[in-house]
Structure 1
Amino acid sequence: MTEKILVDKRLLNIDEFCAYLGIGKTKARELMTKVDNPFTVRLGNRLYANKIMLDKWIDSISGNKLKKVI
């Protein structure tokens, strides 16, 4: 049932963020409080991750960044 909730939700709270990425709360808070990340949404004192922006951010940092040799 948790998987269905994560698929349907646009904003993930800290627990859902941890489950989605498979990381602990300390690392999750570290990532979510970085000023330069595009996915954090602050509502009052609470932090949420915009799932669509999070997926785009993960895609942008994934893979080997090898220079093309000509």
Structure 2
Amino acid sequence: MIEIKASMAGTVLNVLVAAGDEVTAGQDVIMLESMKMEIPVDSPLNGVVQEIKAEAGDFVNEGDILMILTT
């Protein structure tokens, strides 16, 4: 189980995948907005999206878990 965490505080603009989707290493899975900049959050490994813990409009802090993958 792999936790994808927010790299900085910001607002979730888009969740680019859904539970059950297969993702590849480096694929953007969530787009954050912070200080009027869009910050992509990518998958560190190949895997399957197990659970999404954030949705568009949510404010997240650095280190918050956004998504859980299984390999």
TM-score normalised by the chain length of structure 2: 0.25
Give 1 or 2: higher helix fraction: 1
Q: Which protein is bigger by CA-based radius of gyration? A: 1
Which has a greater percent of strand?
2
TM-score, structure 1 as length reference: 0.25
